[in-house]
């Protein structure tokens, strides 16, 4: 069987190499590619996607996996080889349902749609993006049709990002969470609002960039295996554990965008840099799910980056970088960066309201998949739900339905992973603080090596070996649970707002 395992790993390495090339093409498209390159980039991505699909769905590969099944059953179920075979079979069974020509068409359509989304967001013009989105939704329905009927058609999409998670599971979690978050927001609204006006003033862009670099270097981001660039929408991408890239955006008159966006993406990137070297160029060199991935980014952005101990260390450095903050006390700054206020833009939302942005998107996506909401009605539906959930109405499409790039990439089923990541991060944080009881003091001293080492050992090194719920259960003793997150929010904001 060792010869067959060798064959499997060689095939997986080929697929990983193609996936890495696609990742770099996608990174380039969002950063340095000329605007006229979208069509050819779509063709290039389509060709590579087709090649990967053909290799990963070939009858010979399927035969190899059938031959390896008995071997996998004889192994420790948590061993690398057993998990490698398990996920290869899962991926094969899913991929063989999708025709190669569909993979090519989807790559070409989404490349053009992504370019159109960026252009029309700049113009705040949904009408000209609408044909692209209608085509993507048509493709999404076709994709669902390749699979056996599920409990809900949205299950097929969700499974791409949160394996084995069901629409009903996510709805149940959100149903338990929503009233508690709404109650908290109402309680905060009844208190005197904190002042964050000092965050809305000119901040030198290069100095912002330099401060962000200082912070994430202290976190442990490995610059020999990564880099940072600018993009309209921050993201993380990479071709291997030795090439994990991040992007950020810098607002000239608002400090939070660069500051917390950079921390957020670094959380993703350090997860990518932390996979076990033994998993490199295999199907396990990835995150357990996007929800688990998001738990890493939200942890570094919020649980670390918006904490008081963090700023007790870094605030004097920030004041030195920006003298206009010297008259702003640490307490005022800390409260300002944690201000709770319903807002228009998801990526800039505070912790107390962020999940409501996600719930809104989930409901819209489900309505689209169920055929209850037409693309032409999206801006109106979006604005109505923003008013219902957050009490604000977007003044234009750029700050409304066009603010996210996910749909232009065909990523339906993705959004709920952001809120799930928040919940997982709080569960993990409770466990981490039990095992590193002096963690707040370490953070106060600007030391993050023990935290990163814990994440490396318990999460990063496993890559994709475990299903998300399985991994969370192994570490915390329970599946994804909203209770620790609500405990964290209530404690934090009770102290800030005197609830």
Q: Which residues are catalytic?
A: 265
Q: What is the pLDDT of residue 44?
A: 95
Q: What is the pLDDT of residue 347?
A: 82
Q: How far apart are CA 248 and CA 262, in angstroms?
A: 6
Compute CA distances 89 → 44, 98, 155, 329, whole Å. 27, 15, 19, 57
Compute CA distances 351 → 218, 287, 306, 438, whole Å. 23, 23, 10, 24
Q: How far apart are CA 160 and CA 150, in angstroms?
A: 14
Beta-bridge mates of residue 254: 251
CB 388 within 8 A of CB 356: no
Q: What is the pLDDT of residue 76?
A: 96
DSSP for 25-55, please give it. Answer: HHHHHHHT--GGGHHHHHHHHHHHHHHHHHH
Cβ of 264: how many Cβ atoms within 10 Å?
A: 24
Q: What is the pLDDT of residue 209?
A: 97
**How many residues are listed for the chain in this entry?**
499
| Residues 6 or more apart in contact with residue 33 via CB below 8 angstroms | 41
**pLDDT < 70: residue spans in the chain:** none
CB 259 within 8 A of CB 248: no
Q: What is the pLDDT of residue 440?
A: 98
68 token code pair: 């390896």
Q: How far apart are CA 312 and CA 305, in angstroms?
A: 11
Q: Sign (positive/negative) of CA torsion 214, 216, 217, 218? A: positive
Q: What is the pLDDT of residue 283?
A: 96
DSSP for 335-365, please give it. Answer: HHHT-----S-GGG--HHHHHHHHHHHHHHH
Q: What is the pLDDT of residue 35?
A: 87
* CATH number attached to the domain at 167-497: 1.10.1370.30
DSSP for 392-452, please give it. Answer: ---SSSTTTTTS-SGGGGT-TT-THHHHHHHHHHHHHHHHHHHHSTTHHHHHHTT--HHHH
Q: What is the pLDDT of residue 405?
A: 87
Q: What is the pLDDT of residue 233?
A: 81
Largest Cα span, the chain? 70
Placement of tokens 């980039």 in the chain: 41
Looking at the chain, the domain(s) classified CATH 1.10.1370.30 span: 167-497
Q: How far apart are CA 365 and CA 207, in angstroms?
A: 39
Q: How far apart are CA 328 and CA 380, in angstroms?
A: 41
Q: What is the pLDDT of residue 208?
A: 97
Cβ of 455: how many Cβ atoms within 10 Å?
A: 23
Q: What is the pLDDT of residue 348?
A: 83
């Amino acid at each position: 069987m060792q010869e067959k395992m060798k064959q499997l790993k060689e095939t997986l390495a080929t697929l990983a190499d193609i996936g890495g090339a696609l990742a770099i093409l996608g990174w380039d498209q969002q950063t340095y590619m000329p605007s006229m390159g979208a069509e050819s980039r779509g063709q290039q991505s389509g060709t590579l996607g087709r090649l990967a699909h053909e290799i990963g769905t070939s009858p010979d590969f399927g035969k190899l996996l059938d031959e390896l099944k008995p071997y996998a059953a004889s192994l420790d179920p948590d061993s690398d080889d057993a998990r490698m075979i398990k996920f290869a079979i899962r991926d094969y069974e899913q991929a063989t349902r999708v025709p190669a020509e569909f993979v090519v068409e989807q790559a070409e359509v989404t490349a053009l749609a992504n370019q159109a989304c960026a252009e029309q967001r700049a113009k705040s013009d949904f009408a000209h993006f609408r044909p692209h989105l209608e085509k993507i939704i048509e493709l999404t329905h076709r994709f669902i049709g390749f699979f056996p009927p599920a409990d809900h058609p949205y299950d097929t999409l969700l499974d791409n990002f949160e394996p084995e998670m069901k629409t009903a599971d996510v709805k149940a979690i959100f149903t338990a969470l929503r009233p508690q978050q709404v109650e908290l927001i109402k309680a905060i609204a009844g208190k005197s609002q904190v002042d964050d006006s000092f965050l809305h003033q000119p901040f030198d862009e290069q100095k912002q960039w330099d401060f962000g670099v200082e912070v994430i270097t202290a976190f442990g981001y490995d610059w020999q295996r990564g880099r940072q660039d600018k993009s309209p929408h921050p993201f993380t991408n990479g071709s291997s554990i030795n090439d994990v890239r991040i992007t950020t955006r810098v607002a000239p008159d608002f400090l939070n965008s660069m500051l917390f966006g950079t921390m957020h993406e670094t959380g993703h990137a350090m997860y990518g840099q932390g996979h076990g070297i033994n998993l490199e160029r295999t199907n396990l060199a990835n995150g357990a799910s996007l929800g688990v991935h998001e738990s890493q980014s939200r942890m570094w952005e919020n649980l670390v980056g918006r904490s008081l101990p963090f700023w007790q260390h870094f605030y004097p450095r920030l004041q030195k970088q920006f003298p206009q903050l010297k008259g702003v006390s640490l307490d005022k700054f800390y409260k300002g960066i944690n201000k709770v206020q319903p807002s228009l833009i998801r990526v800039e939302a505070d912790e107390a309201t962020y999940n409501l942005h996600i719930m809104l998107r989930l409901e819209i996506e489900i309505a689209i998949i169920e055929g209850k909401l037409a693309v032409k009605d999206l801006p109106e539906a979006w604005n109505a739900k923003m008013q219902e959930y957050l009490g604000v109405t977007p003044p234009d499409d750029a700050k409304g339905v066009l603010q996210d790039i996910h749909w232009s990439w065909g990523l339906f089923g993705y959004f709920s992973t952001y809120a799930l990541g928040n919940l997982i991060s709080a569960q993990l944080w409770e466990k981490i603080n039990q095992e590193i009881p002096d963690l707040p003091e370490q953070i106060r001293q600007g030391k993050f090596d023990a935290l990163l080492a814990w994440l490396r050992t318990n999460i990063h090194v496993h890559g994709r070996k475990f299903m998300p719920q399985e991994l969370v259960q192994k570490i915390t003793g329970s599946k994804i649970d909203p209770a620790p997150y609500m405990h964290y929010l209530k404690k934090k904001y009770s102290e800030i707002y005197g609830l």
